[in-house]
């Protein structure tokens, strides 16, 4: 079982943190092999940001994603650049308000979840920057790539001290959205 996950957007959206949390949940709490890699421009905010996670029950050879099974797009630039690299049938989460121009024809081959993620995060926690954790909740809720328990533990480990509860609130809202999508 090798699963490839791509997170992409711009700097400041928590793209890399989301990928670290998912990798940590798999590696530390599920006993799976996991590799997280990242690439970003020299600027800390505003530049393009991309992170990848590969999860497997066997040792991981090539550590990068080739054809992601799951992808998250938080910006138009990321969507336009990487949408066509995802595997047919991939589950793809799109920040609807930040990706106005979509390739709906290509999306027919995918399982696309397009939502105003930033807005939902702000409504849920009062902080738009919990959008990355909300998205992790949706991703894990929909795909079951790791258990909810594992991702909760990894969120607690990785977010800044004192923000655990607010982030878990965002995560659980993501689980709830996933449940509603399934039913």
Partner 1 sequence: MRYPFPVGKSDFIQGDEAIARAAILAGCRFYAGYPITPASEIFEAMALYMPLVDGVSIQMEDEIASIAAIIGASWAGAKAMTATSGPGFSLMQENLGYAVMTETPIVVVDVQRGGPSTGQPTLPAQGDIMQSIWGTHGDHMLIVLSPSTVQEAFDFTIRAFNLAEKYRTPVVLLTDAEIAHMRERVYIPKPEEIELIERKLPQNEEEAKLPFGDPHGDGVPPMPIFGKGYRTYVTGLTHDERGRPRTVEREVHERLIKRIFRKILDHKDEIISYDEFMLEDAEIAIVTTGIVSRSAVRAVKMLREKGVKAGLLKLNTIWPFDFDYIEELAERVRKIYVPEMNLGQLYHLVKEGANGKAEVELIAKIGGEVHTPMEIVERVVG
* Maximum Cα interatomic distance, the chain, rounded to a whole number of Å: 44
Helix (H, G, I), strand (E, B) or coil at 5: strand
Closest to partner 1 by CB, 37 or 163: 37
Q: How many binding residues for partner 1 (CB under 8 A)?
A: 22
Phi then psi dihedrals of residue 37, to 5 deg: -130, 165
Report, in Å, the least distance between residue 97 CB and partner 1.
30
Closest to partner 1 by CB, 96 or 156: 156
Write out the E strands in 111-171. 111-115
Distance CA 76, CA 144 (A): 27
Q: Does 160 bind partner 1 (CB under 8 A)?
A: no
Residues 27-66 vs partner 1: string with x where CB under 8 A? xx--xxxxxxxxxx-x-----------------xxxxx-x
User: What's the helix, strand, coil split of the chain in %, to 5?
Assistant: 50, 20, 30
- Which residues are near partner 1 by CB under 8 A? 20, 23-24, 27-28, 31-40, 42, 60-64, 66
């Amino acid at each position: 079982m090798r699963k490839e996950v791509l997170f992409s957007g711009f700097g400041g959206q928590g793209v890399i943190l989301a990928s670290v949390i998912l990798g940590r949940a798999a590696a530390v709490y599920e006993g799976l092999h996991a590799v997280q890699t990242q690439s970003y421009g020299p600027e800390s905010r505003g530049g393009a940001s991309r992170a990848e996670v590969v999860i497997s029950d066997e040792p991981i050879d090539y550590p990068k994603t080739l054809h992601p099974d799951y992808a998250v797009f938080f910006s138009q630039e990321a969507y336009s650049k990487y949408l066509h690299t995802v595997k047919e049938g991939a589950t793809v989460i799109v920040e609807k308000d930040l990706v106005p121009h979509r390739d709906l024809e290509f999306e027919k081959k995918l399982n696309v979840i397009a939502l105003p993620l930033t807005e939902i995060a702000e409504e849920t926690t009062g902080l738009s920057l919990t959008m990355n954790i909300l998205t992790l909740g949706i991703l894990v809720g929909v795909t079951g790539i790791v258990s909810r328990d594992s991702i909760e533990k990894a969120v607690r480990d990785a977010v800044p001290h004192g923000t655990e509860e607010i982030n878990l609130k965002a995560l659980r809202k993501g689980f709830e959205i996933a449940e509603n999508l399934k039913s």
